[in-house]
Amino acid sequence: MQDKQYAILWKENFNNFISSLSKLHKLAAPVFKGYNNYAFENVRSGQEIALKYIPTILPPKKFFMPVHETLLEYDFSRGLKADAVTEYEEIILFGVHTCDIAGIQCLNMVFSEHPQDQNYLIHSQNIKIIGLECNEYCDEFANCHLMNTHLPDGGYDIFFTDLGDYFIVHINTQAGEDIIKDTGFFMSAQSSHLNELASYREKKQAIFKNELPVELDLIHDLFDRSFESRIWDDLDERCLACGNCTNVCPTCYCFDIRDEINLHLTAGKRYRVWDSCQLGPFAKVAGGKNFRTTRKVRQRHRYYRKFRYPMDRFSRYFCTGCGRCSRSCMAGIRLKETLKSLIGSKEGAKA
C-alpha cells in the first residue's frame, strides 16, 4: 500500500538528485570545513555535502536574517529621496537538522509579531527547507532530547531520514511535492518502508534520552526559583563577554541599526548587523545608563531568554539543544553544566 505523504530515494540516486536540484534552484547544504567544523555553503553535487555532521558553525538563520543587511538607501542631493531595500534570493537549504528547524520556527514566531519584520518574512517566503534526521547524537554538547527537538515536528518542505540503502522522505508542503516531481528520482513509499521508519524511530528513543535530571515542562519553574542563585556568580567570573554564544545560537535575533553616510552628508544607507546581549554596551541607553553592567547579569539574561521569558510570550522554549553555545565558548561555559548546577542548587532543589 502506498502513502502519498512519503517517498523513497535510493542512495544510488542521491548524487543525481542533488545535481538535478542545483540546476533548478540555488542550493546550500552542510560542507566540511576541516577540524570538525561544518558550514552551510552553496553546493552543486552530492559529493560536497556532509550527510553526517555536528551543527554548523553558524546556524541556517544566516539565510533568514543575514549578518549584515541593508534596510534603506537615501540621497538628499536631489531632494528628499529614500528607498526601502529588500535583498533576497530564492534558495533551497538541504540537510537542516531538527534542532535548526526548531530554531527557524522560533524566529518565525518572533518576526511575525506586530510590527512584522518584512525583510525577514520575505527571506523566509523564498527559502525552502529540506530536513535531515540525526540518527545519533552529534556530540556530548547536545541536549536535543531534553528540548524535544530530536524528532521532526514540521517546519520543513520535505524531510529525509536515512534508513540504510535509501532515504525515506516526508513530503510536508506543496513546494516539497514540487521538488519531488521536478527532480524525478523518487519512488512512492510502501507499507514496508513506513514500518521500517517506525522501527527506526523506536530504536532511536533508546539512543536519545534526557541529558539532564529534569523534565521539559519543569524547566521554567526551575528558572522562577533561580534568579538569585550563586551559579550566576560563577559565570560572572568565567565569562569573557565575547558574544560567541549568541552569534551561533539559532534563536538569538538581536541586531543593531547603523547609518553610513558619504563625506558630503548627502547620501547613505541604513543597515542592520547582528548584535549580542553579552557585549558591554548592548544595554546602554540614553544618558549613559547601562542596566546590565556585569557579566553575571548578562549571562543570566541569556539563559532566561532561552528558558523562561519565551514561555510567557510564546509558550515555547528558545533553546533547541544544538549545543553550539557550549562548543564555541572560549571560557568553557557549558549549557548542560549550568543547568545541572541550577538543578542541584538550593534554589533548584525546592519542590
pLDDT by residue (tens digit) across 74-101? Answer: 988 877 777 778 888 999 999 999 999 9
- Rounded distance between C-alpha atoms, residue 211 and residue 326, angstroms: 14
Count of beta carbons in the 10 Å neighbourhood of residue 1:
8
Do 202 and 220 sit in the same domain of this protein? no
Q: Note down the domain range covering 63.
A: 2-70+87-207
Do 157 and 225 sit in the same domain of this protein? no
Q: What is the mean pLDDT of residues 324-338?
A: 97
Do 230 and 176 sit in the same domain of this protein? no
DSSP 246-297: HHS-TT---EEEEEEE-TTSSEEEEEEEE--TTSGGGGB-TTS-BS--SHHH
Q: Answer whether 278's CB lies under 8 Å from 299's CB.
A: yes
Do 126 and 246 sit in the same domain of this protein? no
Count of beta carbons in the 10 Å neighbourhood of residue 102:
27
Residue 190, in any domain of the structure: yes
Backbone angles phi, psi at 190, to 5 degrees: -105, 170
- So what's the pLDDT on residue 349? 63
Do 139 and 181 sit in the same domain of this protein? yes
Do 241 and 304 sit in the same domain of this protein? yes
- So what's the pLDDT on residue 1? 46
C-alpha cell at 347: 534554589
Residue 40, in any domain of the structure: yes
Q: Closest Cα partner for 311 from 175, 249, 180, 218?
A: 218
DSSP 44: S
Domain count, the chain: 2
Strand boundaries in the chain, DSSP class E = 2-10, 26-34, 37-42, 68-75, 82-84, 91-96, 127-132, 158-162, 166-171, 187-190, 255-261, 267-274
Residue 76, in any domain of the structure: no
3-state secondary structure of 272: strand
pLDDT by residue (tens digit) across 128-177? Answer: 999 999 999 999 999 999 999 999 999 999 999 999 999 999 999 999 99
- So what's the pLDDT on residue 324? 98
Residue 81, in any domain of the structure: no
**351 pLDDT band (50/70/90 cuts)?**
very low
- Rounded distance between C-alpha atoms, residue 79 and residue 85, angstroms: 19
Do 202 and 223 sit in the same domain of this protein? no
Amino acid at 117: D
Do 111 and 140 sit in the same domain of this protein? yes
Look-up of cell digits 543575514? 66
pLDDT by residue (tens digit) across 256-315? Answer: 999 999 998 889 999 999 999 999 999 988 888 998 999 999 999 999 999 999 999 999
Do 118 and 180 sit in the same domain of this protein? yes
Do 202 and 229 sit in the same domain of this protein? no
- So what's the pLDDT on residue 3? 62
- So what's the pLDDT on residue 348? 63
End-to-end alpha carbon distance in the chain: 51
Residue 96, in any domain of the structure: yes
Q: Which of 207, 234, 255 is the last residue of a domain?
A: 207
Amino acid at 203: K
- So what's the pLDDT on residue 77? 82
Backbone angles phi, psi at 245, to 5 degrees: -60, -40
Residue 140, in any domain of the structure: yes
Q: Closest Cα partner for 225 from 91, 344, 96?
A: 344
- Rounded distance between C-alpha atoms, residue 102 and residue 97, angstroms: 9
- Rounded distance between C-alpha atoms, residue 157 and residue 162, angstroms: 17
Residue 180, in any domain of the structure: yes
Q: Closest Cα partner for 127 from 178, 175, 194, 189?
A: 175
Q: Answer whether 162's CB lies under 8 Å from 51's CB.
A: yes
Do 314 and 201 sit in the same domain of this protein? no
- Rounded distance between C-alpha atoms, residue 47 and residue 36, angstroms: 17
Do 142 and 97 sit in the same domain of this protein? yes
* pLDDT(46) > 80: yes
Q: Closest Cα partner for 96 from 150, 47, 132?
A: 132
C-alpha angle 117/174/316, rounded to 5°?
45
Least confident segment among 123-127, 219-223, 344-348: 344-348
Residue 77, in any domain of the structure: no
